[in-house]
A = this chain, B = another copy of it.
Amino acid sequence: MDLSAKSEYALLALLELSPHYASGEPLQIRQIASQQSIPDRYLEQLLATLRRAGLVKSQRGARGGYILARDPWKITLYDVVSCIEGFEPQADPPQVSDTPEALVIQDVWGEVRQAAEGVLQRYTLQDLVEKRNAKQQIDIMYYI
């Protein structure tokens, strides 16, 4: 029922990358990690997964780093979470039993899952960036 810290880390990283997509300048793991207080060696693994899924591109060597593979409007939270959580390929959800009652429950489980995925599909990275900006705007208003 809960989304893991793993997914949250991945999203945080991509949110850091989003504003730098336009300029094309790569961001290093260390930068992202310290900015969002993520263990850097762990973040490295997550970024590798995101790269294999085609969500980010990497530039190796000195002054390298990561950039978003496409526009932050074109990446949904579902894209991120599904590839991190790895729940794409398995067409066989582990069935506990197969009585008629169990089958009905599986159906409901599917509906719950779809409802959750629906929310994630409705948000893009850019949506979150703007949500954050809006929040900070409010903070500034209160400050003045």
- Taking a contact as CB atoms under 8 Å apart, the answer to whether A101 and B132 are in contact is yes
- Cβ-based interface call for A111 (8 A): yes
Q: Which of A3-11, A23-31, A51-59, A61-69 contacts B (4 or more CB under 8 A)?
A: A3-11
Q: How many subunits of this chain does the assembly comprise?
A: 2
CB distance from A12 to the nearest CB of B (A): 5
Q: Give Cα distance in the complex from A58 to B35, angstroms.
A: 54
Within 8 A of B (CB), among A86-144: 87, 96-97, 99-105, 107-109, 111-113, 115-116, 118-120, 123, 128, 131-132, 135-136
The reply to whether B116 and A112 form a contact with Cβ atoms under 8 Å apart is yes
A100 touches B136 (CB 8 A): yes
- Are A101 and B36 interface neighbours, CB within 8 A? yes
Tell me if B85 and A1 are in contact (CB < 8 A).
yes
CA of A115 to CA of B112 in the docked complex: distance in angstroms?
A: 8
Cβ of A45 < 8 Å from any Cβ of B? Answer: no
